[in-house]
Structure 1
Amino acid sequence: MGVRPLDDVYRIRLRVLPTDIDLLRHLNNGRYLSLFDLGRWDMLERSGLTGLFRSRGWYPVVSSETITFRRSLELWQRFELETRWIGRDDRALYMEHRAVVDGEIYAQAIIRARLLGRSGPVPHDELFAAVDVPDGLPEVAPWIHEWAEAAALPSTRRPAPSTWD
């Protein structure tokens, strides 16, 4: 299907810019997730999925994400953004992003995403029939299921009032 297989690790080189930093001259914690969006876009483009999705009226949406920080990225520092698929479950696809310097992980994020179309969620069997899905795209690890369940908000068909206990 695309130029690159889906089970590859996709890498782009970035640099921490003045517009990315907080008052301590570190990469702002909220900025990581914005930069990780670039990694997903790069993966979709280089795997050929962007054109396929566009032709079918499909679009991916992030339903939840979690990030862990290990070391700070400083102003002007170069780093690699690594992106890869890590698995699936019956409703979503999961990706991992890493901010890496000299082979060391500085931050890691897990992303849970759904693929939507004009009539709602795209079933996995429809997606997998249209895409060359690697045989090794596994079911995600149990802790990721637990995280996704614990972090979930009610469906848009159910109320989600903002009340504080």
Structure 2
Amino acid sequence: MNVIWRTLLVMWNARRRLRKEGRLASTEVGRVRVTTLPTDLDVLRHMNNGRYLSLFDLGRWDLLVRTGMSGAMKRHGWYAVVSSETVTFRKSLELWQRFDVESRLLGHDDKAIYLEHRAVVDGEIYAKAIVRARMLKRSGGTLSHQELFAAIGRPEGLPDVEQWVHEWAAASALPPTRADAPSTWS
């Protein structure tokens, strides 16, 4: 439950920073300062591997608010869902350790937006995640990039998504929701 309070606090701070500092360019890196709490730990007394993804959501919320995307999404009844994500761990985060969640938009393809999140301590990467998110409409259906960019502007200077990210997305994809997806083990 503590992640909901952290999320609300991050969103409040992001709105305050948006008013004070202006929009964050979509190619810039967003940073959120986080502390490892007792509720983030596993039985080995370091941050639980699943908690990283929950805390990386904080960086995503900060980025959505500070780039102005969340305002457009709310006005138009759009929302984002994570369709795939992968995380790689390098070092453990310990109790009460402060770290930054760094987040940036990697780019997009015809169906999804790609982001990168990092857990960083004193400039050193402890963990990194790649996230593939799809934009949907509350009224039903998928939001096209043309609609999205018409509302928020096309990000200038956005690099092409690296080939390995496309390969990862294809390799980790499941069948569409309307297709059969039986659980059979080979």
Query: TM-score band (shorter)?
Result: over 0.9
Q: Answer yes or no: is the 8 Å Cα contact 2:84–2:133 preserved in 1.
A: yes
- Give runs of aligned pairs for residues 82-93 of structure 1, distance below 5 A: 82-93=102-113
C-alpha distance in 2, partners of 1:162/1:138?
A: 37
TM-score (norm 2): 0.85
Alignment partner, residue 132 of structure 1: 153
Structure 1: which amino acid aligns with 2:151? A
1:121 to 142, 158, 161: 142
> Is 1:36 paired with 2:56?
yes
Q: Which amino acid aligns with 1:93?
A: I
**1:17 and 2:17 matched:** no
> Counterpart amino acid of 2:182?
P
**Which structure shows the bigger proportion of residues in helix conformation?**
2
- CA shift at 1:3, angstroms? 2.1
2:90 to 64, 70, 84: 70
Corresponding residue for 1:58? 78
2:183 counterpart of 1:162: yes
CA distance in 1, matches of 2:69, 2:132: 17
1:114-134 per-residue CA deviation (whole Å, 9 max, x = no partner) reads: 100123111111111111232
Structure 2 gap ranges (5+): 1-21
Q: What's the RMSD between the two structures over aligned residues?
A: 1.3
Cα distance per residue 1:7-63 (max 9 Å; x no partner): 110001000000000111110000000001111011111122111101101001100
Amino acid corresponding to residue 28 of structure 1 in structure 2: N
Contact 2:36–2:98 (8 Å) recurs in 1? yes
Letter in 2 for 1:43: L
Say whether residues 1:147 and 2:168 are aligned partners: yes
Preserved contact between residue 31 and residue 101 of structure 2 (Cα < 8 Å): yes
